[in-house]
Structure 1
Amino acid sequence: MSAKPDFFRYYKKSYLTIILIGIFVWSLFAVQWNSDLIHAGGFVTIMQMLGALFQPDFSKEILELAIESTWITLSYAVAGMTLAFIIAFVLGVLASGILFGESRISILMKSFFRGLLGFLRAIHELVWAWIFVASFGLSPYAAIFALALPYGGILGRIFADMLTDVPKEPIEALNSTGASKFQVLLYGYLPMVKTNILSYTMYRFECSIRSSAIMSFVGLGGLGYQIQLSLDDLQYDEVWTFIYFLIAIVVLIDLWSSQLRNKLNAPSKHWFVPFSSILTVFLVAGSWGYVYFVDKASFLALFSQENLAYAKKFFAGMLGIGEENPAFLDRESWSNALLLTYDTLRMSIMAIGFSTIVMFLTVIPAARNVANGTLTLAPKWYSWISFGFIRLCYIFSRAIPELVWAMMIIFILKPGILPGAIALALHNFGILGKLCAEVIEDLDERPIRHLSSSGASKAQILMYGVIPSVLPQFLTYILYRWEVIMRTTIVVGFVGAGGLGQQFKLSMSFFHYTDLTLLLFCYLILVWISDYISEWARKTAR
């Protein structure tokens, strides 16, 4: 009787892989694969966009507009991340439970704050932006708060996990000296996690730049706003100019983050660390100064009688107050919402499937130790060319937000879940490829070299040495990105890419606020289900 469970336990990773491939194939049946998917002028549009890719508009007027829009995008991102860090630090410490002890009440408090962080990060920043604009009007604070809440939830969860996982011996030593809870936090926990906290905050800052750019969709300025206007005017050369500026700022922040991590881990203090501190202070002061003095955005004006009346009307509408038959109590509305939820689920699976396939096709030549031949012991002159080209594609892919990809693809493909899936895949394959290439670069090379010295070919080394070693970590990253994609599916729907997002936009446009409540509820259920499935699959893969 015990042989059967052992058999399934031994082959569980193979079964999991088969199940995941089967689910991806199932998602493909959501699309009618025929020529009707493409607009009549879709191929012409593709050629025009590709031609403009190499001939961007670098006229003085457009460059000045791009520089101004870049600063707006950066300002909103910095201001939003400032608040996000404060939210994350406070809620992360509370969610870690290190201030509460081990009583039953402390466990309840810890669960409450972890649930609050989960709620904040479950709703996408663009949805928060819609809510704030509807409540308080078109203000820079709508973008700033919309970035602060979900990023505060994401950072707070990571901070809580970091604090929970610190070694206990130094903490017990401080406790034995009679140190208070706050002293233990300041002198025990924080010194051990500050480098990791800074590193992850910088990574999320890079992500916030992309998020800040898509705030244009609710009418707020920045690079995304200019990209949208240029697309509407079919000025593809201008579109690529603004996209290049967006890519440049993302790459610069990525380089800054990478250098800062390296210098923080260096044995001696480096000038780059205090320089980074000064630069951070300058960016924070400059961003908030721009919001206050240039945009003339008053925080107190948010709580004017007019705005409070709008907010009251908006939230009363979402709760169905005064409405005879709110959507969230109507059976037909539930039926339609669940069908959209089903389509959104299949869109997310299709997206992660597409990005995974492209990642597997490109990730091995994108690894530095494959390019220089140290892993396979077979250096080739063309390896560095393919390495550089693929890494450039990864940067290009991940630097452009999903919504921007969707806005361009919808000019080529007809509305539906396929353009949404492709837009999500295009953005995520660059992130997935970068993460997985780094896994290959961090491999223990000794077993691989043993295969090479025994006469194995390059293909055999990769098939029997590299891939089995990296697959578990690959699967972890794939599932992690699927969770992120699930949150983002609602965003690409805003431009006609199907699913819950498309209906959310329509309901917002027609002031059907109880529909918004129903759609948000379905969206949150979908996000939480994806978190549960992802966690189960990760445990199975271990």
Structure 2
Amino acid sequence: MRLELFSTHKKTYLTFILIGVFLWSLLAVNWDKDLFHSGGLSTLFQILEALFQPDLSKEIILLAIQSTWITLSYAVAGVGLAIVIAFILGILASGIFFEAGPLGSLFKTIFRGVLGFLRAIHELVWAWLFVASFGLSPFAAIFALALPFGGILGRIFADMLADVPEEPIQALKSTGASRWQLFFYGYFPIVKTGMLSYTMYRFECGIRSSAIMSFVGLGGLGYQIQLSLDDLHYDEVWTFIFFLIAIVVLIDWWSSQLRSKWTHSTKHWFLPFSSLLTAGLLVGAWCYIYIVDRASIIELFSTKNLEFAKKFFANMFGLGDESPAFFNGESWKAAISLTYDTLRMSIMAIGFSTVLMFLTVLPAARNVANGKLTLTRRWYNWVSFAVIRVGYILSRAIPELVWAMMIIFIFKPGILPGAIALALHNFGILGKLCAEVVEDLDARPIRHLASSGAGKGQILMYGVLPSVFPQFLTYILYRWEVIMRTTIIVGFVGAGGLGQQFKLSMSFFHYSDITLLLFCYILLVWAADFISEWARKTVK
């Protein structure tokens, strides 16, 4: 009886559990005036004032253009390499090349485990490890982007291939097609549009990730933002941020145009143009890396670098250390406490972004702005639509680390500034995704509510929410998984949690501490993946 009751009301129970967990996370913060620096509020006003007065001098504009190209070059090279990794490992992890049976399942599990490990560690952590191992090199940024992005793309590719319907594949098998023929004429044509769509989205993410590689000493827009923040030149900060926003918006537009033209039966000029543009970007990026930056893959694996890397990893595993952190009870106690703080930070962050999303999602939907959903047209609907949509773009285009670098000037160090930084970035992504869900709704039931005199709040509660709740929850839980991976990097600038201690351990060469912190971090990410997957299945 109890199981039947839970099954009937599982969505309601899960909603109350999630709200309760969010409220519990808020108890981690001491909500008093000591949250702010003594000049924190005045700094906030200065940053907001500079938003409308960016530095447009010739010198800064030229520097921004140069930095944009560096950021773009690293992103193109890193994501290009990630696609190769994802394509190979994704095919192997899908299991389509293995015979059914225990051995095939074992190989599939192994390759999925490799993809899981690659994507569990954030790209900035990979960058730290590569710089510590091989020194400062553009390849540190490229490999740091390639590995986690390859893991994320590979997992998506593997799932797409595994979900291909059996009927067309069986039809090809009956003609005697080989495994490669099955892939190129059966599996790939079915999944290629989905692969393209998600790859373009990851490229947009790669731009933001490339920008924050400055934190380990590599150039680009993030490096200029960091320098300008250190010098308190907030007008310069916004100039570089606007360039970052512009490139993210352009890639988002390119992606949407490419997806729409890809499905046309007749070949559109935009497809060959996109192919040429992609080839040009790849050639230009690698030419810049090899000719201008003078990076060398051979020097990266020189005897000196390999010896240094060997020493670094030996120290990480505690070789030559009389008391490695992972054999020390106090170190474990401290690491578990930081892990607990990091968990609460991630819950607080997704809670803040979800609340903001719910407050803005209706006016941000196009079918609400034009009156098709609510049967009411007001001139200010388009104003609110435009303002919120621009806010979404601004929110998601600025990386979490850049938000954290600004917020830490306002709030004292702790998990609250980290949660706010993560929430601000994910609010734009979550809002855009959920607004698109509202736009795709069947409008007829909601129109009945609107025609009976229901207000926007009632329409949201009784019309929109019941229809979109499963999809909203899927996006919320997915973004929580992403936030969990990202919590470690906001700690690099003093926003608390595992990241803050990770940076300190790197600075003081406590390498066995790094191993312990990474172990706790990976366990936390895997736990978030498991809980998120369980919750998504619960609401289906």
TM range (shorter): over 0.9
Q: 1:87 aligns with which of 85, 88, 94?
A: 85
Partner of 2:304: 306
- Is the counterpart of residue 111 in structure 1 residue 109 in structure 2? yes
Partner of 2:153: 155
Residues 270-320 of structure 1 show CA distances to partners (whole Å, capped at 9, x for unaligned) of 111111010000001100111011101010111111101110010000011
Partner of 1:386: 384
Q: For 1:32-47, list aligned pairs within 5 A.
A: 32-47=30-45
Q: Which runs of 5+ in 2 are unaligned?
A: none
Residues 228-260 of structure 1 show CA distances to partners (whole Å, capped at 9, x for unaligned) of 000001111110100000000000000000111
Q: 1:345 aligns with which of 318, 343, 346?
A: 343
Partner of 1:370: 368
- Is the counterpart of residue 239 in structure 1 residue 237 in structure 2? yes
TM-superposed CA distance for 1:8, in Å, is 1.8
Partner of 2:123: 125
Partner of 2:531: 533
Q: For 1:325-336, list aligned pairs within 5 A.
A: 325-336=323-334
* Matches of 2:407 and 2:350, distance apart in 1: 17
* Matches of 1:462 and 1:496, distance apart in 2: 38
Greater shift, 95-104 or 507-516, is seen at 95-104
Contact 1:85 1:155 survives alignment (8 Å): yes
- Is the counterpart of residue 64 in structure 1 residue 62 in structure 2? yes
Q: In 2 relative to 1, CA 273–517 (structure 1 residues): closer, same or farther, beyond 3 Å?
A: same
Q: 1:425 aligns with which of 418, 423, 426?
A: 423
Q: In 2 relative to 1, CA 320–457 (structure 1 residues): closer, same or farther, beyond 3 Å?
A: closer
* Matches of 2:330 and 2:438, distance apart in 1: 50
The alignment yields a C-alpha RMSD, in angstroms, of: 0.9
* Matches of 2:262 and 2:537, distance apart in 1: 33
- Is the counterpart of residue 98 in structure 1 residue 96 in structure 2? yes
TM-score for both structures, normalised by structure 2: 0.99
Q: For 1:159-238, list aligned pairs within 5 A.
A: 159-238=157-236
- State the SS of the aligned residue for 2:321: coil
Residues 155-208 of structure 1 show CA distances to partners (whole Å, capped at 9, x for unaligned) of 000000111111211111111111111111111111111111111100000000
Q: 2:276 aligns with which of 275, 278, 281?
A: 278
TM-superposed CA distance for 1:451, in Å, is 3.1
Partner of 2:17: 19
Residues 462-521 of structure 1 show CA distances to partners (whole Å, capped at 9, x for unaligned) of 321111111111111000000000000000000000000000000000000000000000
TM-superposed CA distance for 1:373, in Å, is 0.6
- State the SS of the aligned residue for 2:491: helix
Contact 1:92 1:156 survives alignment (8 Å): yes
Partner of 1:492: 490
TM-superposed CA distance for 1:460, in Å, is 3.3
TM-score for both structures, normalised by structure 1: 0.98
TM-superposed CA distance for 1:452, in Å, is 3.6
* Matches of 1:467 and 1:232, distance apart in 2: 44
* Matches of 2:472 and 2:131, distance apart in 1: 39
Q: What percent of counterpart residues are identical?
A: 75
* Matches of 2:243 and 2:260, distance apart in 1: 26
* Matches of 2:432 and 2:394, distance apart in 1: 12
Residues 308-345 of structure 1 show CA distances to partners (whole Å, capped at 9, x for unaligned) of 11100100000111111100111110000000000000
Q: Which runs of 5+ in 1 are unaligned?
A: none
- The amino acid that maps onto 2:39 is G
Flag as ranges the 4+ runs of structure 1 deviating above 2 A: 449-463
Greater shift, 331-340 or 440-449, is seen at 440-449
TM-superposed CA distance for 1:457, in Å, is 4.7
- Is the counterpart of residue 355 in structure 1 residue 382 in structure 2? no
* Matches of 2:458 and 2:413, distance apart in 1: 43
TM-superposed CA distance for 1:5, in Å, is 2.2
- The amino acid that maps onto 1:64 is L
* Matches of 2:402 and 2:179, distance apart in 1: 47
Contact 1:378 1:458 survives alignment (8 Å): no
TM-superposed CA distance for 1:269, in Å, is 1.7
Greater shift, 44-53 or 517-526, is seen at 44-53
